[in-house]
A and B are shown apart, each in its own frame.
Chain A
Amino acid sequence: MKTSDLILQTATKLILFLIVLFSVYIFFAGHYTPGGGFVGGLLTSGAILLLLLAFDMKTVQTILPFNYLYMVALGLLFAIGTGAGALLFNTPFLTHAFGDIHVPVLGELHLHTATLFDLGVYLVVVGVTMSIIQTIGGDE
C-alpha cells in the first residue's frame, strides 16, 4: 500500500532551509567561535539525508545533481591548492595569507586563505558522507 507522507515532506521543505542556513553559518563562524568546515559539512550532509528520508533517491538526485566523488576531489584540490599557493610566494608549504580587501558591494573585508582550506574540508566531508550513504542506500 502506498502510504502518504505529506506531513514529513512538508516539514522537510521548511526545516531543510533552517539546517542549510545553520550549516553555512557554522562554516563561516569557525574562525572565531566553535564550528568550521567539518561540522558545517556534516550538517549539510544531514540536511541532504533528511531530503533522502522524505523523498526517494531519484528525486534527490534531480534536485541536487552532484557527483559526490568529484566533490571529494574538488575539496582535496582546494586544500592542496591553498597549501601549494604559498610556494609561489617563496614561503613554506601551507603558509596562509590574509589581508583587508575592498570588495565592491560588501565593502572592507578581512579575508584569510584558511577559509579556502576550510572550504576544501567542507567539500570533502559532504562528498564522503553522501557517497557512503548513497552507496549503502542504493540497490543497483
Chain B
Amino acid sequence: MIEIAKLIIVAFILIGAFFHLIAALGVIRLPDVYTRNHAASKAATLGVLCILLGTFLYFYFIHDHFNSRVLLGILFMFLTAPVAGHLLGRAAYHSGVKMWGQNGPDDYKEYIEIKKSEKYQEYEAYRKKIEENIKAESK
C-alpha cells in the first residue's frame, strides 16, 4: 500500500517538474507574447497542480496528516492562473502588441471598432452574425 502510494507520489512530482520544464522551454522558444502566455499559463498551472497533489498525497499517506491548505492551494491556483493569463493577453492586445505571422482575419479588432463607433444597429447585426457562426460551428 505504502509502496504504491510512494510510486504515485513520485510520478506526480516528476510530471509536475516536467511540465514546468516544458513551460520554461515554451516561454523561451515561442515567438510572440500570446503563444508564450499560452505556454506559461497552461503548462505551469498543470505543473503546480501536479506537484501540490503529490505533496498532499505524501503528507496524507506517509505522515498520516490531512493538509486541507494544500487542497485549497490547488483550487486557488486552478481558479486564478487562467484569469491572470487572460488579463495578460488582453492587456497585451489592447496596448497593440502584434501577433506573430498573422494571416487570418482579426475578429476581435472588427468587434472593437464596431463597438467604438457606437452604431447600435451595426453592433446588433454583428452580434447576430457571431451567434450564428457559433451555432454553425457547434453543429
Contacts and interface: CB of A to CB of B under 8 A. Distances in A.
Contacts of B116: 1
A18 interface: yes
A111 interface: no
Interface stretch (B46-54, B57-65, B74-82, B131-139): B74-82
A18 B83 contact: no
A1 B112 contact: yes
Nearest to B76: A18
Contacts of B75: 18
Interface string B93-109: 01000000000000000
B127 to A, nearest CB: 14
- What's the interface size class on B, roughly? 10 to 19
Interface of B is mostly: helix
Contacts of A11: 79-80, 83
Interface residues of A, number: 9
B86 A15 contact: no
A14 interface: yes
B45 to A, nearest CB: 14
Interface string A6-41: 011001001100100010000000000000000000
A135 interface: no
A127 to B, nearest CB: 26
B115 A15 contact: no
A8 B115 contact: no
Interface of A: 1, 3, 7-8, 11, 14-15, 18, 22
